[in-house]
């Protein structure tokens, strides 16, 4: 199984150093982004070599991908005809998404390791202020 340092840029994003000042600064940053924008961008969080290995694995397993097609608004709600046509709740976009189940991930792959990382669970939980 891969080591976390082969997958995540720990120098820039020390998610494995819980309790450190750098970790606290990082989670403060992610919380601020989430509170202000509703999303968080972490450039180069996953190392380039790891992204390539993840992409290659996904391509090798395309036949196992579960595809969905749907239309939705930014709120994932049904159309509300009581609102004006240009209201955001009435603007729907079409999307197709593919999902590879975790039990279909290759045993020693970067994707599998990333999926199972306790450090990721803790980091995401701390960023979202849950648990």
Residue 69 is predicted with a pLDDT of 96
Please name the residues in contact with 12: beta carbons below 8 A apart, sequence gap of 6 or more: 44, 45
54 and 3 together in one domain: yes
Instruction: State pLDDT tens for residues 38-72.
Output: 999 999 999 999 999 999 999 999 999 999 999 99
Confidence of residue 6 (pLDDT cuts 50, 70, 90): very high
The verdict on pTM exceeding 0.85 is no
Judgement on whether residues 6 and 70 belong to the same structural domain of the protein: no
- Could you tell me if 93 and 77 lie in one domain? yes
Residues 31 and 95 placed together within one structural domain of the fold: no
Q: In terms of domains, do 1 and 33 share one?
A: yes
Asked if 46 and 91 sit in the same domain, the reply is no
What residue numbers bound the domain in which 129 lies? 1-64+108-131
CA distance 127 to 80: 33
Residues 33 and 22 in one domain: yes
My answer on whether 57 and 24 are in the same domain is yes
């Amino acid at each position: 199984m891969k080591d976390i340092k082969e997958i995540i840029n720990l120098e820039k994003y020390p998610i494995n150093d819980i309790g450190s000042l750098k970790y606290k600064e990082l989670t403060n940053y992610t919380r601020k982004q989430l509170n202000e924008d509703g999303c968080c961008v972490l450039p180069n969080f996953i190392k380039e070599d790891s992204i390539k290995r993840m992409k290659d694995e996904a391509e090798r397993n395309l036949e196992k991908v579960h595809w969905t097609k749907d239309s939705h608004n930014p709120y994932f709600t049904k159309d509300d005809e009581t609102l004006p046509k240009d209201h955001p709740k009435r603007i729907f976009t079409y999307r197709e998404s593919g999902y590879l189940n975790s039990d279909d991930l290759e045993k020693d792959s970067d994707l599998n390791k990333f999926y199972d990382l306790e450090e990721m669970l803790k980091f995401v939980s701390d960023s979202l202020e849950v648990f």
